[in-house]
Structure 1
Amino acid sequence: MSERWVTLAALAALLALPLWALAADEPFTITLATRAAILALAATGLNIALGTGGLVSLGHAAFFGIGGYAMGILASHAQTFAPLSLGPWEVPGTQSMPVIWLVAIAASALAALAIGALSLRTAGVYFIMITLAFGQMFFYFATSWRAYGGEDGLSIWVRNGFPGLNTLVPIQFFGLCFAVLLLAMLLHGRLIRAPFGLALDAARQAPARVLAVGLSPYRLQLAAFVLSGAITGLAGALYADLNRFVSPAMLSWQMSGELIVLVILGGVGRLAGPLIGAGLFVALEHWLGGATEYWHAWLGAILLAIVLFARGGIVGLLTGQGDRRG
């Protein structure tokens, strides 16, 4: 089976599950599918940096959490009718999803630009550790930010709105998240085949040769890192809207680790890798989590088997191809 057909099959399965749940009157199953779509979106953002750019980041939860807090702060001010003070300016809160998404993307992209500009001056394990350090800085800042809940987090009373939709209806909110995921996957697919994506892949494999032809590996990787952070931040805003709650846990290193696990399970650098990895993760969490609190042990065993025997992830197994990333 080709990777294209695997991608289409994975998208069809994700779409069919909530439609079946709607017919069977199982709203919780729709919520699980929505969670899988949002986590797949976050992992798609990471896959741009990790799979295409070869940047192993343990700080992507910072962008995920920034997107979540952008939603939480704007929505909380809209609900209390108290304007948000930005120095000499006062900005009203909002519960409009398109506006919140723009703010989440902009804030996450700016954070990724600052973090990437410093982190990309290092490489290897040093890059991993400095991204982890930045992620923990944001985590402890959110923990001590008492104006927005501190370590207890921030609750939102009503889900934000999108023009023409009732986002409180589970199937409609799923459709919105699925559409955003589809757009992100299309962007990633075009990016891989575009000149920028080819140059980024070359910078991962042979940076000296890329430099020799007049391109800057640093700028290519920084642009990929910023795009990756922006998409992950958008996923964070959707995730906070799904739960109507945002907390420092969204910024923790465990969240960064989970996103990497999703990419590895599905296949690093594979277009459908984040989607399949997120689907498997949510399914294991739901089915095994209800049977035992040690369900992570089974996840660890599956991850170990993939790392040892299926370097291309689940997509690699389905397509019969090895690890394209070496």
Structure 2
Amino acid sequence: MSRERAFNLAALALLVAVPAWAQLTGETFTITLATRAVIFALAATGLNIALGLGGLVSLGHAVFFGIGGYAMGILAFHAQSYTPLTDWPVTIPGTKLMPVIWLVAILVSALAALLIGLLALRTTGVYFIMITLAFGQMFYYFAISWPAYGGEDGMAIYVRNGFPGLNTLIPIQFYGLCLAWLLVVLWFNARLARSRFGLALNAARQAPQRVETVGLDPVRLKLVALVISGAVTGLAGALFADLNRFVSPTMFSWQLSGEIMVFVIIGGVGRLFGPVAGACLFVALEHLLGGITAYWHVWLGVLLLFIVLFGRGGLVGIFAGRGAVHD
């Protein structure tokens, strides 16, 4: 067994053991933190498909995260019917909306990624970074100026959407749904990296001119990767909105795009469990150090600086060395 595979199995064991321990000891808040970490890991895994395999440095991935969140919020908003006296939703507890929301979030986010990619992939390098950032800001200010769904104040969803056979209001059950999606996407990511498409995409990232000489279109390969990446990140946004029962324009912010990229860099670009390690460490630092000082990001910056300078493979690379990725 390679060291990277051992790291992956250890990370997976922690994803199961920590919430199970929290459930047994009644630490509900720990389960919520773990759910937040898993959702961020899912979003970062989506970015890792574009960044790790396709070499697409996107500072606008929060666009897809926000689109998924607003898809969830808008559908839930219209599914809730309110009584004029209590102003409380009376239909949504029996409405199993989650599968529908997931499908809509995936499709709408994929469509947005396709349209953005058709324009952004006409550029390369720093220009690609800036155009994705520009799209992120456009969606951010559009959400602020959309009063029908809360505008700058955001929109609350009073009751979490349902899933057939589960009570999603029970934290451990909702965590199980999010973890299941993360494992499915990680499995898909591993298969994608080893597929002919994944190998061609990796080649397009390293030597696009050579890929063209064998009859493949590197831009088309990267566009497909961006669409897949956007769909996964949109799914994460829908789950995040359901976790908080709230959506707001901050889901489109460039700061969130930067955080998602930080997850990937800290964990390891192109590493299968790199986004998982980065997201879990971020949430842990936010919880542990955030209670001590409001400037806890300083320590995150020190860690990021150390990894960029001395551990180019991220946490996974430090542990496993510079072996093959997606092991």
- TM-score, normalisation: structure 2: 0.94
Deviation at residue 58 of structure 1 after TM alignment: 0.4
Aligned to 2:313: 312
Q: Distance in 1 between matches of 2:43 and 2:151?
A: 24
- How far apart, CA to CA, are the structure 2 residues paired with 1:247 and 1:22? 30
Deviation at 1:7, TM superposition (A): 1.1
Structure 1 residue 259: deviation in Å? 0.3
Residues 18 and 171 of structure 1 are in contact (CA less than 8 Å); yes or no, is this contact kept in structure 2? yes
Tell me the alpha carbon deviations over residues 159-189 of structure 1, each in whole angstroms, 9 at most, x when there is no partner. Answer: 0001110000000000000000000000000
3-state secondary structure, aligned to 1:288:
helix
Q: Is the 8 A contact 1:203 1:217 kept in 2?
A: yes
- Measured after TM superposition, the shift of residue 106 of structure 1 is 0.6
Measured after TM superposition, the shift of residue 81 of structure 1 is 6.8
Shift of 1:322: 7.1
Q: How big is the shift at 1:320?
A: 2.2
Q: Which residue of 2 aligns with 1:13?
A: 14
* CA RMSD, Structure 1 to Structure 2 (Å): 1.7
Q: Secondary structure at the match of 1:230?
A: helix
Q: Which residue of 2 aligns with 1:207?
A: 208
5+ residue gaps, structure 2, are: 84-90
Q: Which amino acid aligns with 1:159?
A: R
Mapped to 2, the partners of 1:255 and 1:323 lie a distance apart of: 29
For 1:80 and 1:60, locate their aligned partners in 2 and report how far apart those are by CA, in whole Å: 33
Which residue in 1 is equivalent to 2:286?
A: 285
- For the pair 1:266 / 2:267, whether they are aligned, the reply is yes
Equivalent-residue separation in structure 1 for 2:319 and 2:112 (angstroms): 37
Q: Paired residue for 1:33?
A: 34
Percentage of matched positions with identical amino acids: 71
Deviation at 1:307, TM superposition (A): 0.2
Residue pair 1:74, 1:95 contacting (<8 A) in 2 also: no
- Report the equivalent of 2:174: 173
Q: Distance in 2 between matches of 1:15 and 1:119?
A: 39
Gap regions ≥5 residues in structure 1: 83-91
8 Å CA contact 1:156, 1:244 repeated in 2:
yes
Q: Which amino acid is 1:172 matched to?
A: Q
Q: Give how far 1:321 is off.
A: 2.0
For residues 8 and 196 of structure 1, the distance between their equivalents in structure 2, rounded to whole angstroms, comes to: 26
Q: For residue 269 of structure 2, give the secondary structure of its aligned residue in structure 1.
A: coil
Is the contact made by 2:96 and 2:164 (CA closer than 8 Å) also made in structure 1? no
Pairing 1:76-225 to 2, within 5 Å after superposition: 76-80=77-81, 96-225=97-226
Structure 2 distance, partners of 1:81, 1:196, is 49
In 1: Cα distance, 2:288 partner to 2:246 partner: 24
1:11 positional shift:
1.1
- Deviation track 1:278-319 (CA, whole Å, cap 9, x = no partner) reads 110000000000000000000000000000000000000110
Amino acid at match of 1:319: A
SS at match of 2:26: coil
Residue 80 (structure 1) shift: 2.7
Cα contact 1:310–1:322 (8 A) shared by 2: no
Aligned AA (1:97): M
Aligned length, in residue pairs: 316
Counterpart contact for 1:312–1:323, Cα < 8 Å: no
Q: Contact 2:69/2:240 (CA < 8 Å) preserved in 1?
A: yes
1:294 aligns with 2:295: yes
Q: In structure 2, how many angstroms separate the alpha carbons of the residues matched to 1:36 and 1:60?
A: 17
TM-score, scaled relative to structure 1: 0.94
